[in-house]
Amino acid sequence: MYEQVAHSLLNKILDRLQPDIQKQDLRHFYTRLGANFYAIHSLFSHLYGNRSDFEQQVVRLVETMASRYIERDEELRRIDKAREEDHNWFLSQEIVGMALYADGFAGDLQGVSSRVNYLQELGINMLHVMPVLKCPEKASDGGYAVSDFRDIDPRFGTLEDIRTLSQKLRRREMLLTLDVVVNHTSDQHEWAMRARAGEQTYQDYYYVFDNRDVPDMFEETLPEIFPETSPGNFTYDPQMQKWAMTVFNSYQWDLNYSNPAVFIEMVDVLLFWANRGADILRLDAVAFLWKKVGTICQNEREAHLILQLFKDCCQVTAPGVLFIAEAIVAPVEIIKYFGEDAVIAKECEIAYNATFMALLWDAIATKNAKLLDQGIRNLPDKLDRATWLNYIRCHDDIGLGFDDVDIVAAGYNPKQHRDFLVNYFTGVYADSPARGQPFGRNEKTGDARISGSLASLIGLEAAIESGDEARIQASVNKILLLHSMIMSFGGIPLIYYGDEIGTLNDRSFLEDEAKAIDSRWMHRPKTDWAKAERRRQHGSVEQRIFDGVQRMIAVRKSIPEFADFNNRELLETGNPHLFVFMRHAPMLGNGRVLVVGNFDSAPQSLALEDLGNRGNFEYSQLRDLYSGEAPRMFKSQLVVPPYHFYWLSDARA
Ligand code: GLC
């Protein structure tokens, strides 16, 4: 949009840019800057307009974007242009991701490069390498306590290794996702050290207080994220003799985004990684970016404005790069991280579907889809040009973040139901096969979350110990059922490393003092490559899971109905054990795929005629696209074996 105030400022800024920037050919940069400058200017002035150095700060911001544009290599600029033309590229059903720790998966970044074949064998074409930046060895929070935003920790490798990996992936048409921890730094970061040494400039990078007055005000409404290991939200630093805000661990200092210098530094960091070949940047803990006394300091309007501003700036320099919002918050709040707009994502194009994840675990524990169905019905429609990241497990705990209203509608009492789920997954009930551990138990509120690997939570560990083949097979089926859901729901499925071979809990973290207090380490395994090798051994657990997931990925990629265009319709079935939805392909005329999942341990039936006439879907001649066979029928009823799923197409397809 053209607007005089912003435009005349832009003219002034362009005249003031450093001579070496002015000399460059910045044609595409200027076009994009012109297109986005009105938005950038209004957001930036909303956040920082009352400062006397406002104009100077805008100049610095534009210089940052321009310098990173100049640095961006030709190949990446070409990709930017291609993605501008094909702007729906990331909604395709052909993308399937995996998240992994470089050291856990393969020792280091070179190890990851050497194992790309394995990922390709499974069908993965988007790789999220968990944080590899410099961080203290012990107080690392699994890499989320960064002490240098622009360098790789020697434990993982070098910047050169990232370059090699990103080039290797690009040659194979695979996408690279990297983290940017935007909310906080390690207390060992240079900014924190300089703050500690008394430099005001760097104390202003954080929320630093002389005494407890303001911290106490904040504490009245702030929840605790890690109540067991890091109670409270402020940490006293004896050298600085001040309190720093530390919402996560006591060694993670929250950045102060009311200071434009922090914002500009972070834009530079985002663009730095965009220029190192990241196709997608995962923005960590985005809900927490803005702090306000009297609130829970999550989901504040300014946090959204900061994300919009990040997006607008990134679009000027590296428009092909997407953002993932890691906002593990209430269902109605998560969706807002796409940015509130009619069509396009103004903040992050992709968001973790934490609601769906937690609901899937609910269905496993209850053996029915009542709450799953209810919760998904109430999930607001996402924007057209935005997509979910659908996952079963990740490196974090499982938080039961669904809505109380939905729990009640499904016929449960919220407190009792959440307690039941935590007890079920942490082995409190003798008849539960799950082997999880509680995480983040808060004695004051009674809340708790759940740690554990997919296989151990689902019952595979207990089944293997029992030696009972029927139980083992049931666990394998449940693992495949959950994968079938994230593959067909709409969005990018993100498999967590190790789950493709049924990796059990890893209890070795208990021997390491720095890790023992954080049960999330039980599901951050070292890949056992001998175990992975058993994927080739017919009948092994590894083979059954790996082949199942591999086949699912291949089939998913061939089903255009599974692309994500808000083309999912939940169907009423009258059978609470089944989760049933139809996927359409609006661009392909009549294309439809009926997805059915049975969460019960007994076979269930579905009266197809009750589903109604769904665009003349031919219920009498169904074929399961996953198995290639006709599904089981009894008269006109579809029979769904225990923990089984179907991806049904009618015979015309
Ligand atoms: C994110 C990460 C989590 C980390 C937290 C603090 O939620 O996923 O692992 O502990 O941020 O950085």
- Model confidence pLDDT, tens digit, residues 186-241: 999 999 999 999 999 999 999 999 999 999 999 999 999 999 999 999 999 999 99
Q: Over the stretch 138-155, which tens digit does the pLDDT of each residue have?
A: 999 999 999 999 999 999
User: Separation of 446 CA from ligand 1 center, angstroms?
Assistant: 21
- Cβ atoms of 390 and 493 within 8 Å: the answer is yes
Decide: 603 in ligand 1 pocket, CB within 6 A: no
From the candidates 284, 447, 500, 650, give the one annotated as an active-site residue.
284
Task: Determine the atom of ligand 1 nearest the C-alpha atom of 144.
Answer: 12
How sure is the predictor about 555, in pLDDT bands with cuts at 50, 70 and 90? Answer: very high
Q: Which of 220, 206, 213, 215 is nearest to 234 (CA)?
A: 215
Average pLDDT over residues 443-453: 94
CA-closest residue to ligand 1 atom 10: 141
Decide: 447 in ligand 1 pocket, CB within 6 A: no
Residue 651 is predicted with a pLDDT of 62
Q: Over the stretch 263-320, which tens digit does the pLDDT of each residue have?
A: 999 999 999 999 999 999 999 999 999 999 999 999 999 999 999 999 999 999 999 9
Q: Is the pLDDT of residue 590 over 90?
A: no
Decide: 254 in ligand 1 pocket, CB within 6 A: no
Backbone φ and ψ of 439, nearest 5°: -135, 140
Reading the block at residue 261, the tokens are 């210098």
User: Separation of 423 CA from ligand 1 center, angstroms?
Assistant: 24
Task: Determine the atom of ligand 1 nearest the C-alpha atom of 248.
Answer: 6
Decide: 108 in ligand 1 pocket, CB within 6 A: no
Decide: 142 in ligand 1 pocket, CB within 6 A: yes
From the candidates 103, 237, 312, 326, give the one annotated as an active-site residue.
326
Q: How many other CB atoms are there within 10 angstroms of residue 360's CB atom?
A: 25
Average pLDDT over residues 332-340: 94
Which residues, other chains included, contact 54 with Cβ-Cβ below 8 Å and sequence gap of 6+? Answer: 45, 48
Q: Is the pLDDT of residue 443 over 60?
A: yes
Task: Determine the atom of ligand 1 nearest the C-alpha atom of 181.
Answer: 12
Decide: 104 in ligand 1 pocket, CB within 6 A: no
Handedness of CA 400, 405, 407, 412 (dihedral sign): positive
Decide: 111 in ligand 1 pocket, CB within 6 A: no
Q: Which residues of 506-544 are buried (b: 16+ CB within 10 A; e: fewer)?
A: beebeeeeebeebbbbbbbbebeeebbebbeeeebbbbb
90 vs 388: CA distance, rounded Å: 10
Q: Over the stretch 1-43, which tens digit does the pLDDT of each residue have?
A: 788 888 999 998 888 888 888 888 898 999 999 999 999 999 9
How sure is the predictor about 488, in pLDDT bands with cuts at 50, 70 and 90? Answer: very high
User: Separation of 285 CA from ligand 1 center, angstroms?
Assistant: 6
Reading the block at residue 108, the tokens are 């280091």
How sure is the predictor about 340, in pLDDT bands with cuts at 50, 70 and 90? Answer: confident
Residue 341 is predicted with a pLDDT of 78
Decide: 397 in ligand 1 pocket, CB within 6 A: no
- Cβ atoms of 355 and 371 within 8 Å: the answer is no
Q: Over the stretch 39-59, which tens digit does the pLDDT of each residue have?
A: 999 999 999 999 999 999 999
160 vs 109: CA distance, rounded Å: 10
User: Separation of 5 CA from ligand 1 center, angstroms?
Assistant: 40
From 128, 144, 247, the mutation candidate for ligand 1 (largest count of ligand atoms within 8 A of CB) is 144
Report the mean per-residue pLDDT for the chain. Answer: 96
Decide: 144 in ligand 1 pocket, CB within 6 A: yes
User: Separation of 253 CA from ligand 1 center, angstroms?
Assistant: 13
Q: Which domains does the chain have, with CATH numbers?
A: 561-650 (2.60.40.1180)
Residue 188 is predicted with a pLDDT of 98
User: Separation of 480 CA from ligand 1 center, angstroms?
Assistant: 27
Decide: 506 in ligand 1 pocket, CB within 6 A: no
Average pLDDT over residues 557-573: 95
Decide: 251 in ligand 1 pocket, CB within 6 A: no
Q: How many other CB atoms are there within 10 angstroms of residue 557's CB atom?
A: 17
Q: Is the pLDDT of residue 652 over 60?
A: no
How sure is the predictor about 516, in pLDDT bands with cuts at 50, 70 and 90? Answer: very high
Task: Determine the atom of ligand 1 nearest the C-alpha atom of 394.
Answer: 8
User: Separation of 284 CA from ligand 1 center, angstroms?
Assistant: 7
Reading the block at residue 241, the tokens are 């003799």
Give catalytic status of residue 326 as yes or no: yes
Highest mean pLDDT among 91-105, 434-448, 576-590: 91-105
Average pLDDT over residues 529-554: 98
Task: Determine the atom of ligand 1 nearest the C-alpha atom of 249.
Answer: 6
User: Separation of 194 CA from ligand 1 center, angstroms?
Assistant: 24
Decide: 285 in ligand 1 pocket, CB within 6 A: yes
Task: Determine the atom of ligand 1 nearest the C-alpha atom of 328.
Answer: 7
Decide: 337 in ligand 1 pocket, CB within 6 A: no
152 vs 158: CA distance, rounded Å: 5
From 281, 396, 523, the mutation candidate for ligand 1 (largest count of ligand atoms within 8 A of CB) is 396
CA-closest residue to ligand 1 atom 7: 285
pTM above 0.75, yes or no: yes
Q: Is the pLDDT of residue 653 over 70?
A: no
172 vs 127: CA distance, rounded Å: 12
Percent of all residues in the chain with a pLDDT value above 90, rounded to a whole number: 90
Which residues, other chains included, contact 479 with Cβ-Cβ below 8 Å and sequence gap of 6+? Answer: 454, 455, 458, 460, 499, 502, 545, 548
- Lowest model confidence (mean pLDDT) among 27-41, 239-253, 344-358, 612-626: 612-626
Q: Is the pLDDT of residue 613 over 80?
A: no
H helices of 301-384, in order, are 301-317, 331-334, 354-366, 370-377
CA-closest residue to ligand 1 atom 11: 285
Decide: 141 in ligand 1 pocket, CB within 6 A: yes
Average pLDDT over residues 364-384: 95
User: Separation of 297 CA from ligand 1 center, angstroms?
Assistant: 16
User: Separation of 250 CA from ligand 1 center, angstroms?
Assistant: 13
Average pLDDT over residues 366-375: 98
